[in-house]
């Protein structure tokens, strides 16, 4: 069987052990990266395709007559046209729960940096402000304790629950959003508009779907407290980035931490990549990249492929 890995460099392979993956009984072709224009040509003769973010569309699937399996080296499945894969009888698997520790600590790093004004105080310590002060400490940037505040989480899966677990150690109350148009068995859910009004911190942990695109827009931002902060480590399209930039510039939102943008990398620019925006942290989709998390991702992919090659049910089947 021929197997193709489309975007190996996105895994940061230099510090990973790929031996179990490469030892599988397939004929490997491994590409460092693959653009959307190159996908169809590179998978045309493949039986198995691995992708992290390289898009596999209906058109490229229609030309890959030998293709039997796609293993997504991520949890999100939006890189693959699942309907087209089903129509072509292509099995699809993904990876789950591999990056929880890495993402949770990144989310809390952003929350703590924003609430303690860490960047502002670090800058003041080295730019001469502290040296010129008559006091032993600086008080120029207001710090808020987390204890007693409300953390609102959108998405009560692995990552949302992981963030909530840490919140309890800081003495925060945790609430979960009831998204419009959905039914929940969980009685802890709070109506979305009321949720936005109650939360001091909103952290997003839901997938990007048609229903969650621009879930946080101008109207939703206006419902939030002016003292609140927004954290997005999920997908860029969940937040209207122009609306978020404006809210921060206007001071109607106190701060935001963003690890994801609508288009990545943002070669055409992005409203949030503006140094004039206050109290904003933007990181380059790196919340998941701890070495341990990436190694677990490889190990899960090996399990998915091994099951497929042995004719067993896929342990993490999407299709």
Alpha helix (H) residue ranges in 151-234? 158-169, 192-198, 218-223
Kind plus residue range of the DSSP H or E element containing 5: strand 2-5
Name the CATH superfamily, with its identifier, for domain 2-98+291-309: NAD(P)-binding Rossmann-like Domain (3.40.50.720)
Q: What is the pLDDT of residue 273?
A: 98
Output the furthest CA–CA distance in the chain (Å, rounded). 75
Mean pLDDT of 186-207: 94
Q: Is the peptide bond before 265 cis (omega within 30 degrees of 0)?
A: yes
Residue 235 among the catalytic residues? yes
Check pLDDT > 80 for residue 187: no
CA distance linking residue 171 with residue 168, whole number of Å: 5
Whether the predicted pLDDT of 186 surpasses 80:
no
Band of the pLDDT at 291, cuts 50, 70, 90?
Answer: very high
CATH code: domain 100-282 is 3.40.50.720
Residue 300 has a pLDDT of 98
pLDDT digits (tens, 9 = 90+) for 105-148: 999 999 999 999 999 999 999 999 999 999 999 999 999 999 99
Q: How many CA atoms lie within 13 A of 74 on its CB side?
A: 21
**Phi, psi angle pair for 65, to nearest 5°:** -65, -25
pLDDT in tens, 71-101: 999 998 989 999 999 999 999 999 999 999 9
- Residue 88 CA to residue 67 CA, distance in Å, equals 9
| Catalytic residue chosen out of the listed positions 285, 299, 303, 306 | 285
Using 50, 70 and 90 to split pLDDT, how confident is the model at 180? confident
CA–CA gap between residue 266 and residue 222 (Å, rounded): 26
Instruction: Report the share of the chain in percent with pLDDT over 70.
Output: 100
Per annotation, catalytic residue among 41, 87, 145, 264? 264
Is 285 annotated as catalytic? yes
Q: How far is CA 282 from CA 106, 233, 253, 255, in A?
A: 12, 10, 16, 11
Where does the chain hold its CATH 3.40.50.720 domain(s)?
2-98+291-309, 100-282
Whether pTM > 0.85 for this model: the answer is: yes
| Residue reference for tokens 């004719």 | 311
Averaged pLDDT, 19-39 = 98
Tracing tokens 């190694």 back to the chain, one arrives at 295
- Distance between CA atoms of residues 302 and 24, nearest Å: 8
Placement of tokens 């989310």 in the chain: 107
Q: How does DSSP assign 37-100, residue by residue?
A: TTHHHHHTT-SEEEESSS-B-HHHHHH-TT--EEEESSS--TTB-HHHHHHTT-EEE---SSSH
Q: How does residue 188 score in pLDDT terms, banded at 50, 70 and 90? A: confident
**Cα 35 to the center of its chain, rounded Å:** 21
Catalytic position from the list 106, 198, 205, 235: 235
């Amino acid at each position: 069987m021929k197997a193709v890995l489309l975007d190996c460099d996105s895994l940061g392979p230099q510090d990973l052990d790929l031996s179990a993956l490469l030892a599988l009984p397939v004929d490997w072709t491994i590409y460092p990266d693959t653009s959307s224009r190159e996908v169809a040509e590179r998978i045309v003769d493949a039986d198995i395709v691995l992708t992290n973010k390289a898009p596999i569309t209906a058109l490229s699937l229609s030309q890959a007559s030998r293709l039997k399996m796609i293993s997504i080296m991520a949890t999100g499945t939006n890189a693959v046209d699942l309907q087209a894969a089903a129509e072509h009888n292509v099995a699809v698997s993904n990876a789950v729960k591999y990056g929880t520790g890495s993402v949770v600590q990144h989310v809390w790093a952003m929350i703590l940096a924003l609430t303690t004004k860490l960047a502002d105080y670090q800058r003041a310590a080295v730019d001469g402000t502290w040296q010129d002060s008559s006091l032993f400490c600086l008080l120029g940037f207001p710090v808020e304790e987390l204890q007693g505040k409300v953390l609102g989480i959108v998405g009560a899966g692995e990552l949302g629950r992981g963030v909530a677990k840490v919140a309890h150690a800081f003495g925060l109350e945790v609430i979960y959003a009831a998204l419009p148009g959905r039914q929940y068995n969980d009685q802890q859910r709070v109506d979305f508009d009321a949720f936005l009004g109650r939360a001091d911190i909103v952290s997003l942990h839901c997938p990007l779907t048609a229903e969650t695109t621009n879930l946080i827009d101008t109207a939703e931002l206006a419902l939030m407290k002016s003292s609140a902060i927004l954290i997005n480590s999920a997908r860029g399209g969940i937040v209207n980035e122009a609306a978020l930039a404006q809210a921060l510039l206007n001071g109607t939102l106190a701060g935001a931490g963003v690890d994801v943008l609508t288009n990545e990398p943002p070669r055409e620019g992005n409203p949030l990549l503006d140094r004039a925006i206050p109290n904003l942290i933007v990181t380059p989709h790196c919340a998941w990249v701890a070495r341990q998390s990436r190694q677990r991702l490889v190990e899960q992919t090996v399990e998915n492929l091994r099951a497929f090659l042995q004719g067993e049910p896929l342990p993490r089947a999407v299709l």
